[in-house]
Structure 1
Amino acid sequence: MVLLGDEQCNNDWIKPYLRRNGGLIQFVFLVYDSTEIDNEVFYQWPLGVATWLPMETDASREEYIKALSESDLTLNPVGQNTECYRIYEAMSYGSVPVIEDVMTSGHCGNSSISQKSPLRLLKEEKAPVIYVKDWKEIDRILEKETTLTQEYKTRRRRDNVLWYESFKSKMRERFVRILQKHFFPVHR
């Protein structure tokens, strides 16, 4: 099962349906940094790029895409969860996400297999993003941006898009590997 979990990681409702508890679900790919992630029954899955909302118009979507493609940096303040679609949307257009690296309220956080929450997968894969603990850091970040050459920024955009494509490929390969492990185990 791939589960777009609760933004505050309140996912206990799924536990009775797990095979280990007498249910039918063998394992779960869960979005968000849940403490349940154990790489045995619960695997983390990146939030990824959003589908456009029904009220989205062609014009507003194009305006958003244009803004991302023309922005060197994309600010990502926390909402209900630290991880948001904007992070992945920005990377898909080469813009560097500036991410507020703070844990939101709820039951998200470090798991038994990783102490890198929030944003575990991005940190483990060394995503080309900028993490901030406090938005007061933005002045320093913006000042540094003014010193970068256009050539550097262009190369960085290309590298970010390439990193994101590689990340998606790794996640796809990981997904298939886990499916094979659970459904087609090698008998020795």
Structure 2
Amino acid sequence: MLTLLRLTVTIIVINLLLILYTVYVFYYKFSANFPTIAESVQQNVQNIDIIDIKNNNVLNTSHLMTIEIWSKAAIGLYLWQHILRGQIETRTENNAYISGSVKVNEFKFKFRSGPLLITESLQHLSAQNLILVLNGRDKDKIRFATEWIEGVKIVKDKIANIGIVMLGDEDCHNNWIKPYIESNGGFIKFLFVVYDWKAIDNHDIYQWPLGLATYRNFPNPDFNKINFQASRPYVCNFVATIYPDSSRQELINILNNKYRDICIIKVRYEWQPKETTDSLNYYVEALRLSDLTLSPIGRNHECYRIFEALSFGSVPVVEENMNHTKKTSCDKNEAYRLLKEANAPLIYVSNWTQDLPNILSNELNLSLEYKIQRRLYIIKWYSKFKTLIKSQFLKVINEKFV
């Protein structure tokens, strides 16, 4: 009996000692590290808060100004995909309807385009802010654009703000739109227009870059897939439509006589609005395989080719001689205004016959290392240029809409 009592007491003492040891370990060991653990937990909570804040910035759009962009011109895709960097989220068969949305700063943009978008659709416009992208290139396009502006006029009491981005006439005959601008008694808060129109004042009318030929399905190059380090086998390229009595005829004569071995040359004598898969691929390869892209004046000095060359790191060689442009309302003294203001990496010529031999001779003497650095600089500049245009676009919206 005594032995059993002693055994019980011994077990109790052992358990008590274990409890005391456990308390000691918890209090002196674990509590010593508690501030560090607490700080770690607090940091994790802060990280979660930051993630929640970021998610709210993306998901909670109740504080944003919603702006609908309705595009009835191909330059709308350049605005949406290249300048605002928005994605196409909906695309029906044959592009009958295209849509997307993107948050940029304090704005939420909704993009709409396609044949299914008609003037009657304006009755169902969900936002109070509308930007129309229109084509005013010729009489038929102007008639269609006017129908849209008149359609907006009918429902303008439901719309707080209206702006326009427009492909202008290549000879800058754009006076038809002036009465619709707010400062002239109309309801359009601002107009961005392609080409160097004399009426551009950076107050109500602003200039917009022509950009890439999205209507011909010109690709948006992935810079990571372009080999900038390789030697390009051709010095220059000239892939274009030849217009009668233009400097393009002068240029093709020079190239055919002297430079067929070092330049990619492919011309046609009738303009075509669409490209075949083969002709588009040929043109893209010409840009990719040469370091100079020759761009003489067509109907207007600004050409898709300029921006398409820049997107592949090929230097546009452009013509400053405006004598070929006649019966124009464009400002000849402000030719390439947007590009010059942004110090675009272009080569300017005034006379192809006199200037081109020196340009090509100089190009042949440049090292590959120099050309590689130049290509990278061109790509970097073009990216910054698009960001600059985006900033100007948002600034005008902020001034005119907010």
Structure 2-normalised TM-score? 0.43
What 5-or-longer segments of structure 2 have no aligned partner? Answer: 1-163, 217-272
Separation (CA, whole Å) in 2 of partners of 1:88 and 1:169: 14
Counterpart of 1:169 in structure 2: which amino acid?
T
Q: Which residue of structure 1 aligns with residue 329 of structure 2?
A: 107
Answer yes or no: is 1:79 the counterpart of 2:298.
Answer: yes
Match in the other structure for 2:342: 125
Structure 1 segments of 4+ aligned residues over 6 angstroms from their partners: none
Report how many residues are paired.
179
1:46 Cα deviation after fit:
0.8
State the Cα deviation string for residues 142-183 of structure 1 (Å, max 9, x = none).
Answer: 010011001111111111111111101110111111111111
Distance 2:188 2:169 in 1: 18
Cα distance in 2 for residues equivalent to 1:63 and 1:83: 22
* Secondary structure of residue in 2 paired with 1:20: helix
Check conservation: 1:82, 1:118, Cα contact below 8 A.
Answer: yes
| 1:39 lines up with 2:202 in the alignment | yes
CA contact 1:29–1:45 (8 Å) conserved in 2: yes
Deviations 1:34-64 (A, max 9, x none): 1111010110111111114373222221221
Task: Please say if residues 30 and 45 of structure 1, whose CA atoms lie closer than 8 Å, have aligned partners that are also in contact.
Answer: yes
- 1:23 offset after TM fit, Å? 1.8
Alpha-carbon distance between aligned partners in 2 of 1:102 and 1:14, rounded to the nearest angstrom: 29
Alpha carbons 1:49, 1:89 under 8 Å: kept:
yes
Greater shift, 45-54 or 161-170, is seen at: 45-54
* SS across alignment from 1:15: helix
Instruction: State the Cα deviation string for residues 108-142 of structure 1 (Å, max 9, x = none).
Output: 116xxxx5x10001111110010011112000000
Q: CA deviation at 1:6?
A: 0.5
Alpha-carbon distance, 1:26 to partner: 1.6
Once the two structures are overlaid, the 10-residue window that deviates more, 135-144 or 15-24, is: 15-24
Select 1:154's aligned residue among 372, 375, 390: 372
The one-letter code sitting in structure 1 at the alignment partner of 2:343 is K
Q: Secondary structure in 2 aligned to 1:128?
A: coil
CA contact 1:102–1:118 (8 Å) conserved in 2: no
**Greater strand fraction, Structure 1 or Structure 2:** 2
Counting helix residues as a fraction of each chain, which structure ranks higher?
A: 2
Selected match of 2:184 from 10, 17, 21: 21
Quote the residue 2:386 is aligned against.
Answer: 168
Q: Distance in 2 between matches of 1:78 and 1:9?
A: 15
1:140 to 336, 355, 358: 358
Would you say the 8 A contact 1:82–1:102 is kept in 2?
no
- Report the Cα distance in structure 1 between the residues aligned to 2:347 and 2:365, rounded to whole angstroms: 16
- SS in structure 1 at match of 2:307: helix
Distance 1:124 1:102 in 2: 19
- Would you say 1:90 and 2:309 are equivalent positions? yes
The CA distance in 1 between the partners of 2:174 and 2:304, in whole Å, is 20
SS in 2 for 1:72: strand
Q: Distance in 2 between matches of 1:55 and 1:107?
A: 27
Q: What is the aligned partner in structure 2 of residue 68 from structure 1?
A: 287
Higher-Rg structure is 2
Q: Is the 8 A contact 1:4 1:30 kept in 2?
A: yes
Partners of 2:321 and 2:211 in 1: CA distance? 19
Taking the aligned partners of 1:102 and 1:32, their CA distance within structure 2 comes to: 16
